[in-house]
Amino acid sequence: MAGATQWLVAGVLITLVSSASARDTYESDKLAYRVDTVAEGLEHPWSLAFLPDDTALVTEREGRLRRLVEGRLLPEPVTGLPELVVSGQGGLLDVRLHPDFQNNRLLFLSYAHRTRQGMTTRVARARLAGNALENVEVIFEALPRSNNGRHFAGRMEFDHNGNLYIAVGDRGEMDRAQDTGDDAGGVHRITINGAPAPGNPFVGKAGFNETFYTYGNRNIQGMTRHPSTGEIWSHEHGPRGGDEINILRAGNNYGWPLVTYGSDYSGLPISSRTTMEGISDPLHYWDPSIAPSGMAFYTGNLFPQWQGDLFVGALKLRKLVRLSLDGELAIEEEDLLTELNERIRDVRMGPDGALWLLTDARNGKVLRLVPAD
């Protein structure tokens, strides 16, 4: 195969196919790095998860779950997926492994689902057996449903206690994000059986769905756990401007649409306020919007200069953003991979110490960032 190189990663020989259409060596402010194309031909890949046997799972928004084995994308998708709908921004979205996946083989999928009442975000739990899902069970469904195809969100993350955080977008109906009896526009924290997680902030409170952990969130498409504090960090799309990075804290209202740094797509203002008493201010925001998707802290050894930095993919502005942090303060921002001109959908910290990316395209790719040396 032209342009192929090989790497030994965790004892597995992985064939990496260098992109023929783009220069594969780049300079950042701190180091030189190379971008290798691990796989291509994916239809709008959305999420990536690494299995303990050095293979990986990739979701395609078009409704397929694919396996990467020894650097090769298996042609046959995983069977047994739950019923889902591909419409607008919806389809098969995130995949998350249970923290004890090596022993229980459980994984979790978020996806769009349709009935006569409309569409919504669902989460299913399943057991991976070979190339098939078994014991598939729906454990979360955001209600009420609506008929538009926007803002499903769908990012998920586990905390140190094994509770699952699920982002649900406002579904393109902004006022729903402040309605605490409506599952849209917030983050829900549940057990792996779908019950409200112990200690949820609104358990027993009138007018609140008990699975809510935060609300006032527009459309979260990035979520990751801080490697030191264990807190869950997220980012969300603003409208025309006002993309935010937040730390998810119990009971917080993140303000959408009461406060925002963005304006409506029509150009008209949404709110005259960027801050308000009782509303959590963002740690960092972008104006104009970069359309963030995917997020990961760098914790590997391949790039010691990037240790502790936060990486965010961008769809609209087609780049990878590196944020250097001092605690909760972003002190440096650098744009990477602008030359690729690719919509970055997901960003993952790989077990091999590399940064792994997914590109959102009809011919989507799995990319791997490694040192240039």
Q: How far apart are CA 346 and CA 58, in angstroms?
A: 10
Report whether 20 contacts 3 (CB < 8 A): yes
44 given a catalytic annotation: no
User: What is the CA 202 to chain-centroid distance, rounded?
Assistant: 25
Per annotation, catalytic residue among 44, 151, 235, 237: 151
- Give me the residues paired with residue 134 across strands: 127
**Per-residue b or e along 233-259, where b marks 16 or more CB atoms closer than 10 Å to that residue's CB:** bbbbbbbbebbbbbbbeeebbbbbbbb
Residue whose pair of structure tokens reads 């309605």 in the numeric block: 179
Largest CA distance in the chain: 63
Q: Where are the alpha helices (DSSP H) in the chain?
A: 101-104
Residue whose pair of structure tokens reads 């590196």 in the numeric block: 322
**Contacts (Cβ under 8 Å, ≥6 apart) of 248:** 165, 187, 213, 214, 223, 231, 232, 233, 234
If phi over 0 gives left and psi between -120 and 50 gives alpha, with beta otherwise, what is residue 160?
alpha
Q: How far apart are CA 335 and CA 24, in angstroms?
A: 16
Point out the residues that are catalytic: 151
